[in-house]
Amino acid sequence: MESKDKSKWRMTTRPASRGGIRASLAFLCLLAFSASGICDVVINEIELSAPHNETVWVELYNAGDDPVDLTGWTVQIEDGAWKGIIPLQGIIDPLGFKVAKGKDAWATTGNGTVYLYDALGENMDRVYPQSDQSHSHFAYGRIPDGRRRGTSADFAFLRASIGMSNGREVQK
């Protein structure tokens, strides 16, 4: 039979340290700031076959209402067995653009799939395989900026507009 005498029960608590609470709050604030716009940053335009042997580049666009810290994020370009990784840093403002440039020595065939990874290594966006062997001032870009349906139809072959709008912004 169960005893109803609870006088033997003892509950002990330890006050939380202020440093632990502050660290937890700082982490939660950072997480909230970072997560608020994570899905709003997309690959907006890619140049895999730049004219005059210039370097490849990938333009990002923040379609969200909040700035996003790109520290630790990466852009990855895969062209057959070749893979190039561009580390990112800095802040991308709401409705802003950020251009990630590859290395001068990179020699792609003008084909490739482009990925955007966050600081935790999660895939945030992907551009399906594109082919650009023209070595021209044309690139693949989203029309309107930020369009994201998850198909290759999100992109059109258009006059490159590195770091600027491709024409129209997504209507919210």
Q: Give the 3-state secondary structure percentages of the chain, helix then strand then coil, rounded to 5.
A: 15, 35, 50
105 domain-assigned: yes
Domain total in the chain: 1
Q: How many residues does the chain have?
A: 172
pLDDT tens per residue, range 91-143? 999 999 999 998 877 766 677 889 999 999 999 999 877 766 666 778 888 88
Q: Tell me the one-letter amino acid at 128.
A: Y
Name the residue range of residue 119's domain: 41-159
Most confident of 27-36, 115-124, 152-161: 115-124
Return d(Cα 84, Cα 109) in angstroms, integer.
13
User: Is 70 among the domain residues?
Assistant: yes
- Rounded Cα–Cα distance for residues 88 and 113 (Å): 18
Residue 37, pLDDT above cutoff 50:
no
Separation of alpha carbons 146 and 42, rounded Å: 6
